[in-house]
Structure 1
Amino acid sequence: MSIYSKILVVANLNSDEQPALARAVQLAKQSQSRSQICLFLSIYDFSYDMTSMLSHEERDAMRRGVIQQREEWMREIAAPHLDDSFDFSVQVVWHNRPYIAIVEEVFAGKHDIIIKATRKHDILESVIFTPTDWHLLRKCPVPVLLVKNAHWPEDANIIASVHVGSESQTHIDLNDGIVTQLDSLTQRLGAKGYLVNAYPVTPANITIELPEFDPATYTDAVRGHHLTAMKALRQKHGYAEEQTIVEQGLPEDIIPQVSSELNAAMVILGTTGRTGLSAVFIGNTAEHVIDKINCDVMALKPNGYISPFDPEHS
């Protein structure tokens, strides 16, 4: 079972409502060991660094004053969520790139998970102007839980998007990691878990290029392969057949569809660390899924992923 003994919560600067903190407290209270929650905020004001009329010491004093004000505000908004069942702290840093500050704190504080509130981004914002959420999905080494709603429903369902059609060891290990997270979260949050897999549609151009090709036979073979692989995965982890769903289509279409049908409160999926132009213009399945569903999303990295901000590999 995943421990989540050290939880890093990214504070929402624009609201006194803190759904990410509420979710962190839920997880901490169900932990078998005492958890630590750190409410974290990265702030920056360009004008403080460009005021030539002030000395370096005066600018530092102004920054410290702003940081202290934010720390006091964070303790105030956190107060209704706190009790004696876990340890709590706040931390504010001065940094002009929030996602770098967050990932650096993951390494410095050895945190197990990041929890952050999110919202639906428009197309331009998610494709061209990469927000902090996308950077964390690509570059954070620990699980990232993006929280869309503060309220956790009773009798909730959590779905795990698995990729069972591949024989790649990376995908096999990632599937196991995703199901392990599903086990932990369903137990802690009192939810029911489902494994969901999408398999590809037969390309239309194949029937034109290969007249003897039988698309129906091919589709049946692909579906059979995915059903067999899903059976092996569910049996490995002790899931019932009715907790598995195998559908034809793209993951970014199937996962939101199943999420809506099951009224899922959370989706767990794997994500890769894209860089360069592919990250800007293509995005990946996790990012497309996040924009199409209205529930919490947890994104996991494959084993062996190395963050560009890992101090041991910089």
Structure 2
Amino acid sequence: MSEQSRFMLVVSPLMENSPAFDRAAALAKAADAALHIVAFDYLEGLATAGLVNEQALEQMRVGYVERHRQWLEDQARPLRKLGVHVTTEVVWVANPLKEILIHLKEQPMAAMIKALEHESALSRLMFTPLDVHLLRECPVPLHFVSHVLHALPRRIVAAVDPFHRDGRYAGLNDRILREAAKLASICNAQLDVIYAHDLSSIGAAEFGFDNASAFFSSNAAKKLFDAQGEAFRDLAERNDIPAENQHMILGDPAKVLSSYADAYDVDLIVMGRVAHRGIGRLVGSTVEHLLYKMPCSVWVVAPESLEG
């Protein structure tokens, strides 16, 4: 990354520290990049308090924002001593998603970093969390930080799907590997590439079979497996991934990636985002499976075009 690169760290409005601070600082230091820390404040109780007049409410809001600004400066001070160029900002806004996207448009960033906010399954059924909205709409690489073992990642995995049948995403796997390789180089980390393929997700009708059992008992499944393997090797080789770091594993992608990350103490998984029937998702599985069940942090790469 160039000297002009900047990372944006989005932090909680509650003045809470998190591992995302350490990860953002470590990445910025290793990449020789600047770090912009921003909090999008909006406290419902403070914003709608009905027992005081509007002037008093405004003074309370201004006071809270100023306290938060000073708190961010306190967090930034030790990072600056490490040689990281850090700027801070606090914005009072009811719709953080819209403001984040405006910031990213007006202030180009190499990546956005944010602590993953774990939501219950019931909560996700009731409304769409900010993290999922960001995953669908963020135009730059998006790093959700959770389960941090090392501030600077030591083991990175790139998850690819070279057999994706939607031509709109033909170049996404190469982008994932380029991004992962760049991160691995910055962090001096080991990089492995995984293609978790799930034949059960393929409709037998696509291959002229009336039922799945006929498909899997035929040579068609073997031919498909061989074709997938060839596509995966071609992808890895043209991106200079050594054979010993290539892993093609049969199984549900979410389970494969989660098990691999847990077994090998993976710090970070780099994945691509694709549009699927109008619903934001990641290559190979659902947002919920991959975001909320992974035992490590994730780095999400968007396609060249966000339309889909």
Which letter does structure 1 place at the counterpart of 2:263?
A: E
| Aligned equivalent of 2:231 | 229
| Aligned equivalent of 1:310 | none
Counterpart of 1:259 (choices 258, 261, 278) is: 261
Which letter does structure 1 place at the counterpart of 2:22?
A: A
Query: Is the alpha carbon distance of 1:245 and 1:73 closer, same or farther for their aligned partners in structure 2, counting shifts above 3 Å?
Result: same
Identity of aligned residues (%): 22
Q: Any conservation in 2 of the 1:271–1:286 contact (CA below 8 Å)?
A: no
Q: Any conservation in 2 of the 1:199–1:222 contact (CA below 8 Å)?
A: no
Between the aligned partners of 1:24 and 1:175, the Cα distance in structure 2 is: 25
| Aligned equivalent of 1:292 | 293
| Aligned equivalent of 1:304 | 305
Q: Is 243-252 or 153-162 further displaced after alignment?
A: 153-162
Unaligned runs of 5+ in 2: none
* Per-residue CA distance 1:163-218 (angstroms, 9 max, x = gap): 11136443331111111111111112221111111223246976664886563522
TM norm structure 2: 0.85
Q: Any conservation in 1 of the 2:20–2:145 contact (CA below 8 Å)?
A: yes
Between the aligned partners of 2:65 and 2:11, the Cα distance in structure 1 is: 13
Q: Any conservation in 2 of the 1:10–1:114 contact (CA below 8 Å)?
A: yes
| Aligned equivalent of 1:311 | none
Between the aligned partners of 1:118 and 1:158, the Cα distance in structure 2 is: 18
Between the aligned partners of 1:29 and 1:259, the Cα distance in structure 2 is: 25
Which letter does structure 2 place at the counterpart of 1:86?
A: V
CA apart distance, 1:3: 7.7
Between the aligned partners of 2:293 and 2:236, the Cα distance in structure 1 is: 26
* Per-residue CA distance 1:31-65 (angstroms, 9 max, x = gap): 2xx5221111111134435648524x554443222
Query: Is the alpha carbon distance of 1:306 and 1:54 closer, same or farther for their aligned partners in structure 2, counting shifts above 3 Å?
Result: farther
| Aligned equivalent of 1:268 | 270
Q: How does 1:1-314 map to 2 (within 5 A)?
A: 5-14=5-14, 16-31=16-31, 34-46=32-44, 47-49=46-48, 51=50, 54-55=53-54, 58-83=56-81, 85-152=83-150, 156-166=154-164, 168-202=166-200, 209=211, 213=215, 215-272=217-274, 278=279, 285-305=286-306
* Per-residue CA distance 1:120-148 (angstroms, 9 max, x = gap): 43212234322221111011111110111
Between the aligned partners of 2:182 and 2:268, the Cα distance in structure 1 is: 13
Between the aligned partners of 2:275 and 2:212, the Cα distance in structure 1 is: 36
Give the SS at the match of 1:294.
Answer: coil
Which letter does structure 1 place at the counterpart of 2:292?
A: D
Q: How many residues align?
A: 301
Q: Is 204-213 or 107-116 further displaced after alignment?
A: 204-213
Between the aligned partners of 2:251 and 2:280, the Cα distance in structure 1 is: 23
Which letter does structure 2 place at the counterpart of 1:130?
A: T
Give the SS at the match of 1:69.
Answer: helix
* Per-residue CA distance 1:42-94 (angstroms, 9 max, x = gap): 11134435648524x55444322221111011111333333263321111111
CA apart distance, 1:95: 1.0
Q: Any conservation in 1 of the 2:112–2:141 contact (CA below 8 Å)?
A: yes
Between the aligned partners of 2:203 and 2:168, the Cα distance in structure 1 is: 29
Which letter does structure 2 place at the counterpart of 1:54?
A: N
Give the SS at the match of 1:145.
Answer: strand
Between the aligned partners of 1:165 and 1:279, the Cα distance in structure 2 is: 19
Q: Any conservation in 2 of the 1:7–1:37 contact (CA below 8 Å)?
A: yes
TM norm structure 1: 0.83
Between the aligned partners of 1:38 and 1:191, the Cα distance in structure 2 is: 24
| Aligned equivalent of 1:312 | none
Unaligned runs of 5+ in 1: 308-314
Query: Is the alpha carbon distance of 1:286 and 1:181 closer, same or farther for their aligned partners in structure 2, counting shifts above 3 Å?
Result: farther
Q: Any conservation in 2 of the 1:251–1:285 contact (CA below 8 Å)?
A: no
Between the aligned partners of 2:241 and 2:297, the Cα distance in structure 1 is: 22
Q: Any conservation in 1 of the 2:148–2:296 contact (CA below 8 Å)?
A: no
